[in-house]
Amino acid sequence: MPLAYLGLGSNIGNRIGYIRRSLVALSRLPKTKVTKVSSLYETEPYGKKEQPWFINIVVEVSTELSPLELFKKCKSIENKLGRQKREKWAEREIDIDILLYDEIIFSTPELQIPHPDMHNRRFVLIPLSEIAPNIIHPVFKKSVSELLIECKDTTKIIHIPEKIDLKNIIEPEVKEIRYIAIEGVIGAGKTSLAKLLGERLNAKVVLEQYYENPFLEKFYENRERYAFQTQIFFLLSRYKQQMELHQIDLFHEYLITDYIFDKDKIFAHINLKGDELKLYEMLVGMLEKNIPVPDLVIYLQSSVERLMQNIRKRGRPYEKNISEDYIRELYEAYNEFFFNQYRKSPVLVINVTEIDFVNNRDDFEDLVNEILSPRKSYFEYYNPGKK
C-alpha cells in the first residue's frame, strides 16, 4: 500500500492529549494503518510568534485511501476533535497536514502534495527525519536529511523524552450501549438531558439526590470549612445509589444516570487537601471496586459564561454563592479528567454552549441521533453548534 507522512500539531489545551486522540482516529480510518510515529517535539510557533508553543509529531501511515480521500478524513478528524476556524497561522486545537504521499506530486485548490512549505519548517523535517531520513522529496529530489541540513528555519525545537507507543493507540471495541451516564460541570444540563432522554427512550432514569446533602449550602458559603463533610456525604450516598444499579430492570431497555461515581474524585481533588484528601482516597479506593461501569459516558461541555448563566437562571437558593472562579476551576478539572484520564467507558463529548436542547426540539433530536449512532471510537467529540 502507498505510504503517506502526516504532520500533527497542537498548541491549545492538553496538546499531547489532542495528538493522542488524533492518532486513535487515524488508526481507525478505513484501509489505513499507522506504521510509525516520531518522538514528540515542543516547537516555537512558525509564522505568528505571539501564541503558545506547539507539540508536533510526524506519522507514517500505510493507506489505500487516495490523497484527496485521506485529506478529507484528516479534516473530519480535526472537526470532530473540536478545531475552531481562525485566521491563518493562529493557534489551533489540532492540525493534521499531509506532507508526502508516496512519490506523488498532486495539486488542487484545497490540497498540495508534497506540502508546499515542508522544506522550510524544522518542526516538520526533524520528526520526519527521525522516522524516514532517506525518503526523497519528489520535487527537490533530495532526501529529508539533506533538506534538514539546508533548511534556514531558526525556530527553536525541543525534543520531549516521552514517546507514544503504537500498541496503546488502538483502543478496545465499543460494546452495545444500555447504560448511559451523563456528566458535566454544574449548570451544563446533565439532569435535564437525563430526564428528556429517559422519556424519549423509555429508560429507567436514576438521578443524583444532591439536595439531600445537609452540608451543601454551607459548603458554598465556606468551602474550606465544610469541604470534607460535604465530600464524604456525597461519596457514601453516591456509593449506595450506584450499588442499587446492579438490580436489573427488565421493563426498560436503557438505564440513564445524571452522574458517574468517578466524578466524586474530581471534586475531592479540588476541595480537599492534606490528611483529609489521604483519608478520602483510602475510602474511595475500597468503595469503587464494585461500582457498575457505564456503556457510554456523555460529557456535556459548555463555556464558563454559559454555565454561570444557567446557574443564575434556575435560581436554586443554595447555589447563589457559587463563584465564577469555582466554576472555572471545575470546568478545567472536568476537561482534564474526561479528555486525558477517564478510560473505563467510551466518552462522547458534546459541546452544548450554543444549543438549547431543553427548549428546542430540533436541538434535542439532533443530540438523540448522535447519542444513538454507532460509536466508532472510545473518545468522540461532537460540536452541534458548529455543524
**pTM for this predicted structure:** 0.57
pLDDT per residue as tens digits for the range 198-223: 998 888 999 988 778 899 888 888 98
Residue-level length of the chain: 387
Q: Is the pLDDT of residue 114 over 80?
A: yes
Terminal C-alpha separation, the chain: 34
Please, how many CA atoms are within 13 Å of residue 306, restricted to the half-sphere of its CB? Answer: 15
- Cβ atoms of 346 and 378 within 8 Å: the answer is yes
- Tell me phi and psi for residue 68, to 5 degrees: -70, -35
Q: How many whole angstroms separate alpha carbon 216 and alpha carbon 318?
A: 7
pLDDT per residue as tens digits for the range 258-306: 999 999 999 999 999 999 999 999 999 889 888 889 999 999 999 999 9
3-state secondary structure the chain: CCEEEEEEEECCCCHHHHHHHHHHHHHCCCCEEEEEECCEEEECCCCCCCCCCEEEEEEEEEECCCHHHHHHHHHHHHHHCCCCCCCCCCCCCCEEEEEEECCCCEECCCCEECCCCHHHCHHHHHHHHHHCCCCECCCCCCEHHHHHHHCCCCCCEEEECCCCCHHHCCCCCCCCCCEEEEEECCCCCHHHHHHHHHHHHCCEEECCCHHHCCCHHHHHHCHHHHHHHHHHHHHHHHHHHHHHCCCCCCCCCCEEECCCCCHHHHHHHHHCCHHHHHHHHHHHHHHHHHCCCCCEEEEEECCHHHHHHHHHHHCCHHHCCCCHHHHHHHHHHHHHHHHHCCCCCCEEEEECCCCCCCCCHHHHHHHHHHHHCCCCCCEEEECHHHC
Predicted confidence band of residue 249 (pLDDT cuts 50, 70, 90) = low
What does the mean pLDDT of the chain come to? 89
> Of the given ranges (112-121, 311-320, 357-366), which has the lowest mean pLDDT?
311-320
The verdict on whether 366 is a catalytic residue reads: no
Please, how many CA atoms are within 13 Å of residue 82, restricted to the half-sphere of its CB? Answer: 24
Predicted confidence band of residue 169 (pLDDT cuts 50, 70, 90) = low
**Check whether domain 179-386 has CATH 3.40.50.300, yes or no:** yes
**To which CATH superfamily is domain 3-168 assigned?**
7,8-Dihydro-6-hydroxymethylpterin-pyrophosphokinase HPPK (3.30.70.560)
pLDDT per residue as tens digits for the range 175-197: 578 899 999 999 999 999 999 99
* Every domain of the chain and the residues it spans: 3-168, 179-386
What is the percent of the chain with per-residue pLDDT over 90, rounded to a whole number?
A: 62
Cell 456503556 -> residue? 295
User: Residue 41 forms beta bridges with which residues?
Assistant: 56, 159
List Cβ neighbours of 253 (8 Å cut-off, separation of 6 or more): 178, 201, 202, 203
Determine which one of 95, 97, 258, 295 is catalytic: 258
